[in-house]
Amino acid sequence: MRDVIIFDFDGTLADTLEAGREIFNRIAPDYGLATVEADRIAELRHLTTRGPVSYTHLTLPTIYSV
């Protein structure tokens, strides 16, 4: 067995939020989801999980069918 250390760099050493938003926006239309504009990120980051899910029109059946 190997000893492994896992680091969570996101937001610490690497800011991947914009890259993640761009990727999400590229595939969102394929799944009937709303895209996320850069100026909405600050607002969405302060919501509970339900906020961004509702904003993008994501539903549980959509989550399970992907």
Residue labelled with tokens 């690497």: 14
Summarize the confidence of residues 36-46 as an average pLDDT: 86
* Structure confidence at residue 26 (pLDDT): 97
> Using 50, 70 and 90 to split pLDDT, how confident is the model at 53?
confident
Q: Which residues contact 31 (CB under 8 A, 6 or more apart)?
A: 62, 66
Q: Do residues 56 and 36 lie in contact, with contact meaning Cβ atoms separated by under 8 Å?
A: yes
Is residue 61 pLDDT above 70, yes or no?
A: no
Entry pTM: 0.62
Percent of the chain scored above 90 by pLDDT? 21
- The string over 35-53, giving b where at least 16 C-beta atoms fall within 10 Å of a residue's C-beta and e elsewhere, is ebeeeeeeeeeeeeeeebb
